[in-house]
Structure 1
Amino acid sequence: MFRKNFLKIKFDSKYPGMIEKEFARSFLSAWLSVEEDLRPEEFYFAERSKIKFVVSELGVEGLVNGWPRKCKMFRRKTKPKFDGMIGYYKNANCLTVFLTMGQKSEFMIRLYKLLLNLFKANYGRIQSNEVEIKRNWFYKDFYNATQERRCGTNVNSYDEYGLGFRIPQLSWVNYLGKDLVERIGEDKFKTLEAYQVEKINDGYLIITNPSHRVHGTEVGYAEEERIMQHLGRQHFFDRNLIDLNILWADYYERDDNFLQFIDEIAQQKK
């Protein structure tokens, strides 16, 4: 799946207690009772693991007993295929689903809306890998080795680069929850014209085009930029504002230490 361009559904949630079995029971029960094509078939705890936890064999309670360690990764092996992972972090929990570019747009939107509610997301998007690289990846050569760094992909990772708070750039499908709507101002969403604007819970779903095939094209970029301008471009990530000296500061420090280490070894050999 990942040798070519692919699409990634990503949700962040600040909902407390996600590692608890009570949440697992409600989350898994709801997910495994929807239309068959939206359900995962297996869970496993490590990528390429030979140990898998088959949904049809264990059922909800069997999966709940292994939550969350044995349920961090999931996949659907029959068409429409997808796989993904659930991560638990200090500031936000994250759910990611990987899909091929050959998936139907309608199916991806159905899956997105389902997981948006089940995961109690406060932020989410569907974005292609190529668009993320173009918007969010930075590269620099150090001693004939290329280092890479990503920034601007999360709603809580900008202060270290001196930008203050920034929301990731809008993509093909987006969800901005209550906190982000309040930051921008709900009046901006009420007057927004886009392919689809829908209030869900206390946030807004924004779909920029009917097909994901437009995403990553000049037309797609232009529409996403138009919507960000309407909502207030200052609220969204701008790679042109990144101070590269700050971005690469720890790499410089590491390389200085590396050079010092080499000098020390050279002195010992004299």
Structure 2
Amino acid sequence: MRNIKYYFQLTLIFTFALFSIAALIFLIFFIVKESLPAIIHLKIKPFISLYWYPTYDPPEFGMLALIVDTLLVTVLSSVITIPLGYFISFYLHTYASDREKHIIKYIISVLSGVPSVIIGAAILIFVSPILLNFDIWSTENLFLAVLGLSFLSLPYSVSLMTDSLEDVPRELEESSLALGASKFITTLKITTKASINGILNAAVLTINRVIGETMVVLLVGGGAAIIPTSIFDPIKPLTAAIASEIGEAGVNSMHYHALFLAGLILLCISLILTYYAKKRGRIDG
């Protein structure tokens, strides 16, 4: 009976794992297949042209501005979110009492469950009008997109980094404290170094979440396919372009295939980041 239960569980796990791998392969195949006509027809033009006018006659499918907007909003949001997430997780692990941990983790869990469309709508309604008092011409811009993405991804970053710090064996920290090191130095130099792979993976997952986020940048980004010269200029990342235009693009039209090419670019960026994190983890390990 025990063997039957064991093999049943093993078969179930194998089946779900195989299904997940097959689904991922099918997803990548589908995106590549739908992007292929745009790759063949447009060649390198999407990567060197700034003009994204897919409904013009003749249409323009330049994605350089969209790619720059995506990278810019991702970098700025990550520069804010990842260090702030580490500092909060550092405090939770090192100084917070059990009650403080419980309260802060509860707040984080609540914030992580707030839909992104609610965050975007709240910024649009309550924060965006304030910009008019500072003579800012666009009340949907890069600044608000970064603000929304940082707020949205911070709970995710804090949760993952806190778990990484708490996974370090307690004996390692106690040895450092016994040698006279302070809590601050122990967490900074011992615990952080021991959990660097987990922290790095948390950072990559946070960046991937920022890259893939759609509703916030769609609501407060401004929807202008330009390269911003100011943090208060409107932007249109790849995700916003896909979400706002895929419903209007005719199936099998060049506009349709170009949007899938935009999705393929996002997928490649995500895979490169994940590969780098895994490679760095093997080197550090």
Which interval holds the TM-score relative to the shorter structure? under 0.3
Give the strand-richer structure, 1 or 2: 1
- Name which structure has the greater RCO, CA cutoff 8 Å, separation 6+: 2
Instruction: Name the TM-score, length of structure 1 as normaliser.
Output: 0.26
Instruction: Name the TM-score, length of structure 2 as normaliser.
Output: 0.25
Larger Rg: 2
